[in-house]
Amino acid sequence: MAESICGLDCGQCGWKGSCGGCAVTGGRPFGGECMLAACCHAKGLERCGNCPERPCSLKAQLIREFNALGIEDMEEVTDLNALKGSFVNLEYSLASGQRIKFWDDDRIYLGNQLCKRDSDRCYGLTADEEHLLVCEYGEAGWDPEIIVYQKRKKQP
């Protein structure tokens, strides 16, 4: 399989047979846009590996934004991963009883899972170009709760 645009090792991915590969699909694995590939393309790069910004400025900015939320019992965010939307697209119950999902199942977002201190629950972090989402959930995404969902501030 051709190398990914962002430099991830596609050979290690469990979905490598169904995504189409971001290099082959022009940064649209699974048919949806990939944040990392879109960032590289916006900089006129064929691959992130050619990017002079080390570490990736998009990841670094999102890490700063997640840490700035000041969630007391959340570990410090040190890395974000490329995550398929269907993997992070949990369904939440709103106070009105409405059930809602935030993400596109076929898009690739940046996020991570962190342990909640002194708890058996986890924090799930997901971001796109416009929003940050932090949720809390139990094993296998059970009983998800929205902790923060906010519009990102435009960066200069």
Residue 112 has phi, psi (to 5 degrees) of -165, 165
Q: Is 40 within a domain? A: yes
Higher pLDDT, 30 or 53: 30
pLDDT bucket at 36, cuts 50 / 70 / 90: confident
- Contact (Cβ atoms closer than 8 angstroms) between residue 36 and residue 49: no
What are the CA-CA distances from residue 98 to residues 48, 106, 127, 144, 150 (Å)? 40, 23, 22, 14, 19
Q: Are residues 124 and 69 in the same domain?
A: yes
User: Are 16 and 67 members of one domain?
Assistant: no
Higher pLDDT, 128 or 6: 128
Whether 46 and 70 map to the same domain: the answer is no
Structure tokens at 127: 């971001």
Domain count within the chain: 2
Q: Which domain holds residue 31?
A: 10-50
The answer to whether position 125 is within a domain reads yes
User: In this structure, are 46 and 68 located in the same domain?
Assistant: no
- Examine the domain organization and report whether 30 and 78 are in the same domain: no
CA neighbor of 21 nearest in space, from 30, 37, 12, 84: 30
HEC states along 23-66?
CCCCCCHHHCCEHHHHHHHHCCCCCHHHCCCCCCHHHHHHHHHH
The least confident of 31-35, 55-59, 138-142 is 31-35
- Whether the bond between 55 and the residue before it is cis, its omega within 30 degrees of 0, is yes
Q: Are residues 62 and 39 in the same domain?
A: no
- Tally Cβ neighbours within 10 Å of residue 151: 8
Instruction: Map 101-132 to HEC letters.
Output: CCCCCCCEEEEEEEEECCCCCEEEEEECCCEE
User: pLDDT per residue over 56-114, tens digit each?
Assistant: 778 889 999 999 999 999 999 999 988 888 889 999 998 899 999 999 998 889 999 99
Task: Write the DSSP symbol of residue 68.
Answer: H
Task: Mark whether 46 and 96 lie in a shared domain.
Answer: no
Q: Does the pLDDT of residue 156 top 50, yes or no?
A: yes
The Cα–Cα gap between 59 and 64 comes to 9
Angle at 150 between CA 113 and CA 77, to 5 degrees: 30
* Residues 14 and 36 placed together within one structural domain of the fold: yes
